[in-house]
Amino acid sequence: MTKFSDLNLDKKVLKAVEETGYETPTPIQAGAIPPALEGRDVLGIAQTGTGKTASFTLPMISMLKRGRARARMPRSLVLAPTRELAAQVAENFDAYAKHTKLTKALLIGGVSFKEQDALIDRGVDVLIATPGRLLDHFERGKLILSDVKIMVIDEADRMLDMGFIPDIERIFGLTPFTRQTLFFSATMAPEIERITNTFLSNPAKIEVARAATTSENIKQGVVMFKGGAKNAADKHRLLRDLIKSEGDECRNGIIFCNRKIDVDAVAKSMTKAGLDASPIHGDLDQSHRMKTLAGFRDGTLRFLVASDVAARGLDIPNVSHVFNYDVPSHAEDYVHRIGRTGRAGKKGTAIMICVPRDEKNFDDIERLVEMTIPRVEMPGAPAPKAEPKSDEAPSEEKPKRTRTRGGRGRKSDAAKTEETAVETPKIEDAPKQDAPNAEAEKADAPKAENTRQEPSDKPKRSRGGRNRGKRDNNDRGPQIVGMGDDAPDFIAKSFVERQGS
């Protein structure tokens, strides 16, 4: 079994890692760190929750340790799609760079330029940014990117969703050809592939996917709510009843709504009913967002009512419950949302409210997660539990979601990642891994039984899901790895195709 100490990381980095208590790298870490340390480009295909962040911060810190930044000329650059994710990377960097003298700056929107300017002027080793604010600084002539040695793109597919790709291309163009690029995406849509073909050179490709689309630690439920969509008060009350019916088990929770308006309304109704809740969405000012999130993290706030700002990537340990006030309209978002609970091997509960007009989206979700989400009877009657199945079957025996571990040829993660770490520039031959899901998060116990050798018989393109609608019902073969096949249709399309549809 590979240990962090086998990875050739700088001693001071290793020390910081040890202090966090982690010993065993996750598959993405074991796969990405060695080639990154050799100076190679890395293409990491991994979801959030696989330990991705450390897979680039650790080698970066190791490599940057020598040398010092000049004024306005950062030596490395990390781009993330949302402010919160950028901030999270910055925290991760702080944790692992604490025994080094490296400096960093976090450049995100919604906060004043002044402090950011001062840091840049002083010279930083690591710049962590959202694309808009970075370009803003650049255009004001405050930033020179010609000394960037390492550039990281995190959550590239989300950047694509958010229309950041032109900005990303532009930023690539501002950095030197000779830079090393570490590029991470959950899926390889054609547009993403085009970017990587253009800007990466002979990358080591590491692919890691979740073992199951949703963690087995998460107990799921749905309430089919027939109440009128016109009357928000009914739905608010239903939500509160659901929370109540969970009793003490519900220590805290995130309530996801599809619209910012509803985020505010739900938060208000909860507060009014005496529940400790605060809203978070993109219209709230940044310092407020940060404060709310911090409060939720440290337990002073019990309920976070959120838009999809908070759906992806955010690592908040110890979230006992996720409530989907609305059915998300992209099935993939469901997985991201409920993945905020059941993290790091802990148990979690995810309950969703589905109204009649959401049923189509709901069907998509059930198809994506490949299970029937247990129906929760309307509360009012006390505490119908969220998972009828639990009496008969202990949670480790849910056959439907374990297809990825069905194969022969199981290998230990260590063996597997070694293969991955060697030269794998050729896409088709890159071995794939099924990652442990939530547990992998904390780098403590990658599960060998989740690892499986993938025969490379499947044409690359079919993973993009172009034909997904037709194929879904009858071709859910075991080749599916991670969300490649489950990506929403549009993700697989080029911009031109999207305009056509």
List residues binding DNA (CB under 7 A).
81-84, 108-110, 129-136, 161-164, 258-261, 281-283, 307-309, 329-330, 361
Q: Tell me the closest approach of the beta carbon of residue 229 to DNA, in angstroms.
A: 11
User: What DSSP element (H or E) covers 77?
Assistant: strand 76-79
Which residue's CB is nearer to DNA, number 283 or number 428? Answer: 283
| Nearest to 60, CA basis, from 96, 6, 85 | 96
Which residue's CB is nearer to DNA, number 313 or number 348? Answer: 313
Which residue's CB is nearer to DNA, number 2 or number 258? Answer: 258
Which residue's CB is nearer to DNA, number 161 or number 315? Answer: 161
Q: Tell me the closest approach of the beta carbon of residue 51 to DNA, in angstroms.
A: 23
The three-class DSSP label of residue 201 is coil
Which residue's CB is nearer to DNA, number 134 or number 206? Answer: 134
* Token pair recorded at residue 401: 């979601």
Q: Tell me the closest approach of the beta carbon of residue 117 to DNA, in angstroms.
A: 12
State the alpha helices, DSSP H only, in 127-185: 131-139, 156-161, 165-174
Q: Give the separation between CA 96 and CA 91, rounded to whole angstroms.
A: 9
Q: Tell me the closest approach of the beta carbon of residue 241 to DNA, in angstroms.
A: 24
The three-class DSSP label of residue 117 is helix
User: What distances in angstroms separate CA 186 from CA 169, 181, 241, 373, one per listed residue?
Assistant: 19, 17, 36, 24
Q: Tell me the closest approach of the beta carbon of residue 111 to DNA, in angstroms.
A: 8
Which residue's CB is nearer to DNA, number 289 or number 452? Answer: 289
φ, ψ (nearest 5 deg) of residue 79: -110, 130
User: What distances in angstroms separate CA 273 from CA 187, 234, 253, 490, one per listed residue?
Assistant: 41, 13, 16, 40
Which residue's CB is nearer to DNA, number 86 or number 182? Answer: 86
Q: Tell me the closest approach of the beta carbon of residue 494 to DNA, in angstroms.
A: 17
Q: Tell me the closest approach of the beta carbon of residue 313 to DNA, in angstroms.
A: 11
Q: Give the separation between CA 447 and CA 293, rounded to whole angstroms.
A: 31
φ, ψ (nearest 5 deg) of residue 255: -110, 115
431 near 420, Cβ under 8 Å? yes
For residue 305, which amino acid is it? V
